[in-house]
Structure 1
Amino acid sequence: MAQNLYGPRVRIGNWNEDIYLEEELMKDFLEKRDKGELLIQRNRRLKGNLLRQMQLSVSEDGCIHYGDKVMLVNPDHPETDADVFLPGDLSLCMTPDEIKAYLSDELEVPCGLSAAQTKNPVGRNTFMILSVDRKAIGQVLRYGEDFCLGITGGFEDKMLYLASDHRTLLKSSKKSWLQEVYLTDEVSYLNCWQAAYVDPQLRLEYEGLPIAANAKILINHCHTNRGLVAHRHLFISTYFGKEVEVAAHTHLDSHRVEKPKNHWMLVTGNPRKDSSTILDLPKPRAEDTHATEQAMSLNAQ
């Protein structure tokens, strides 16, 4: 098959049109570059906002308040349902569609969610505790109260809300096919959540009491009464790599008690250091099991 080995500088055929076409393409490229409209520039802006360092709220009285900026963390626990799972503390993160993220510098709605091994507060995992009427800023959040979880994703003029709805044939989580959770900019009852105490025998006694910061709680969806859950054994491919699925489903053990995969903590900031969480504080020696094991081995020797 014959190949065209001639370029625009070889003046045969439509050489003049080819030169003008190259000049127009270069002019269009430079114009888009100056305006910041190239795909790589838009992609870098989106990624920069999602990974922007955020400052979490510091709890002075040990409680969670409306308006606080926190991280939603599923504490580390062994996964008994599978041999392969993602260990460590997992934080709830917003996960934009991978293809759309490469084509736009804006957040598309609805936006997906996942859980990842990231302990640093950034734009994609820093949530704000909001009241239903948006007027209770500074008041203490209590067990059994309706509240919303908002996230800006590092943008100053954007606010998305954690939402969920009943599972349908066309709408469910990607791996488990359970009830989907997502982020939306629409304000509705689908955005409302409630916190419950982890021990079912003390749940009624804790109703109406303030929620302690960095304590294990259950986060239940008001409309469907399903608990927020992190499936450590169900991996999904995201814009930021391999992470695990987040859904709305209450997993119960043989004693009708919620499993650790339904446990969450509202993690606040570290008062000793900026851009850090309370999880970064060293454990007291009495609670450090690794130090206890070292001491026992030395005594045995």
Structure 2
Amino acid sequence: KQDRMRDFIRKRDRGELLMQKIGRLEENLLKKIKLSVSKDGFICFGDTVMLLSPDSESSVDNYTGACGNLTLAINLEEISIYSAVSLQAPCGVSAVKTIDPVGRNTFCLLSVDGSSVGEPIRFGQKFGLGTTGGFSDPMFYLASDHKSFIRFAKKSHLQQVFLTDELSYLTCWQAAFLDPQLRLEYEGSPVPANSKVIITHCHTNRSLAVPRNFWTRSYFGREYEVICHTYLDSHRVEEDKNYWVIVTANPGDNGTMIDRPDPQ
């Protein structure tokens, strides 16, 4: 008994108790993060942003309870949290109802082609999406790869999206203008912040999506599956499942541009 007590006290003093490890993980993932302010209305390399899947009429019509804005976030399975001291790669992602910027749902826009921090990201230009989950390091990168017999999204069985600790061709993304008829015209123009865009995985040419009808379980509860799949309507135009808003901070206060009331 005394040995067990000594072991317990030693682990507690070192912060090695499971309860302490989980507490630290949770503290970092839910820590408030300051988003970047867009000075000129565009997103730039080095910006800290949220990726938001905007509320849509079709989500209200088709999926009860699945309406509302959702943000892309680190998904921690309940099993893995009990064995992890910090985040481990590969790691899952999901869409969550939290629209306040915290460790688990904020991403840094990374240059993969030698562009400098502060330069605007342009439509058609490759970029990376990195997150530390609120920790100081390491950084994990949003990635995807072609579906295979062993690699697919658990619920939809479509192309999986995940976080990895290696930058490669699997972690390159690009933004496309929402209206396909104007897409070519806007190619090379700076990508506006806080506006709907399509985000496409460069290697597989499939777009980031939240179908909203597939649930996934995480340590934080029930969340939505995020996949790479281009949903096209009868006019060959992307559906709102593929819409994303790259959210920056509201320069006037501590909120985000999503909280800002529409001008009257």
**TM-score, normalised relative to structure 1:** 0.85
Following TM superposition, by how much is the alpha carbon of 1:82 offset from its aligned partner in structure 2, in angstroms?
Answer: 3.4
2:119 counterpart residue number: 139
Distance 1:164 1:107, change over 3 A: same
Q: Which moved more, 1:161-170 or 1:70-79?
A: 70-79
- Identical residues among aligned pairs (%): 53
Gaps of 5+ in 1: 1-21, 286-301
Does structure 1 residue 231 correspond to structure 2 residue 211? yes
- Equivalent AA in structure 2 for residue 244 of structure 1: Y
Q: Over aligned residues, Cα RMSD in angstroms?
A: 1.2
Deviation at 1:78, TM superposition (A): 2.7
Counterpart of 2:52, as a letter, is V
Alignment partners' CA distance in 2, 1:41 and 1:186 = 28
Q: Give the structure 2 partner of residue 72 of structure 1.
A: 51
Cα deviation for residue 96 of structure 1 reads 2.0
Matched, 1:112 2:92: yes
Question: Partner amino acid for 1:103?
Answer: S
For 2:72, the equivalent position in structure 1 comes to 92
Q: Deviations over 1:249-297 (max 9, x none)?
A: 00001111000010001000011222x2111111223xxxxxxxxxxxx
**Runs of 4+ displaced beyond 4 Å:** none
- Of 69, 83, 92 in structure 2, the residue corresponding to residue 103 of structure 1 is 83
8 Å CA contact 1:85–1:232 kept in 2: the answer is: no
Aligned counterparts of 1:262 and 1:63: Cα–Cα separation in 2: 20
- Work out the CA distance in 1 between the residues paired with 2:11 and 2:114: 40
Q: Which runs of 5+ in 2 are unaligned?
A: none
Structure-1 separation of matches of 2:63 and 2:140: 35
Partners of 1:247 and 1:135 lie apart in 2 by 28
Q: Tell me if structure 1 keeps the 8 A contact 2:197–2:245.
A: yes
User: 8 Å contact 1:39–1:102 — kept in the other structure?
Assistant: yes
Q: What displacement does 1:158 show?
A: 1.4
Distance in 2 of aligned mates of 1:136 and 1:164? 25
Stretch of structure 1 that moved more, 265-274 or 58-67: 265-274
Please give the TM-score of this superposition, normalised by the length of structure 2. 0.97
1:288 matched to which residue of 2? none
Structure 1 residue 177: deviation in Å?
Answer: 0.2
Q: How many residues align?
A: 263
The answer to whether the aligner puts 1:196 opposite 2:157 as a matched pair is: no
Q: Secondary structure at the match of 2:175?
A: strand
Give, as a single letter, the amino acid of the residue that structure 2 aligns with 1:225.
Answer: N
Greater C-alpha radius of gyration: 1
* Residues 1:59 and 2:38 aligned together: yes
SS of the aligned residue for 1:27 comes to: helix
* Alpha-carbon distance in 2 for matches of 1:43, 1:78: 38
Q: Which amino acid aligns with 1:70?
A: V
The aligned residue for residue 279 of structure 1 is 258
- Letter of the structure 2 residue corresponding to residue 29 of structure 1: F
Counterpart CA distance in 1 for 2:37 and 2:222 is 31
